Amino acid sequence: MIRVWDPLVRIFHWSLVALVISNAFFNEGGGDWHEWLGYAACAWIALRLVWGVVGTKHARFSEMRKAWPRRGQFVPHVRDYLRGRTPRILNHSPLALIGMAAMLACVLLLGLSGWMMSWDRFFGEEWLEETHEVLSNALLGLIVIHVTGVIRESLLHRENLVASMLHGRKSDLER
């Protein structure tokens, strides 16, 4: 077994899950808790972005980028993925990287739009509230895609990715 996900990455992942679930389903009407949990999610992402540059080997974005297909190979990679023929990757696959970036960007934009709603200049602006709601729904859609991808990859490669995100280890590539 290889340690892939260090404690900070795992705590970040599950904390962000808890923050998003809490704000999406228990505090969705706004209020102080909604705001502070949103700010906490953005702070966690800021920490994760720093850790993606200076953190442990598998936490670094430069390491994740190594799995990216060569120029002109992305569409064939997607085709292979849809056919269930992609190789097992120790870190994030290219599609997982896109999904991760999209989810993190969505949370940050939710934080920004929520914060802007507290400004006098934007108080009561319908377009901003609608933008916040669209981003929230987009994030939930991305999460559904993420969970579906985790289940698919776990079944395809016979590896429990949820468990590896709990204990931090994955089996060696040579299986």
CATH of the domain at 53: 1.20.950.20
Does some domain include residue 165? yes
Does some domain include residue 21? yes
Does some domain include residue 91? yes
Average pLDDT for 115-138? 94
The model scores a pTM over 0.75: yes
| pLDDT grade for 68, boundaries at 50, 70 and 90 | confident
- Give the N- to C-terminal CA distance of the chain in Å, as an integer: 11
What is the structure's pLDDT at 27? 84
What's the domain count of the chain?
Answer: 1
d(CA 173, CA 149) in angstroms, rounded, equals: 19
Would you tell me how many other CB atoms lie within 10 Å of the CB of residue 51? 17
Does some domain include residue 19? yes
| Of residues 59, 44, 69, 50, the one with CA closest to residue 9 | 59
pLDDT tens, 14-61? 999 999 999 999 887 788 999 999 999 999 999 999 999 999 998 999
Determine contact, residues 4/54, Cβ cutoff 8 Å. Answer: no
Q: Is the pLDDT of residue 86 over 70?
A: yes
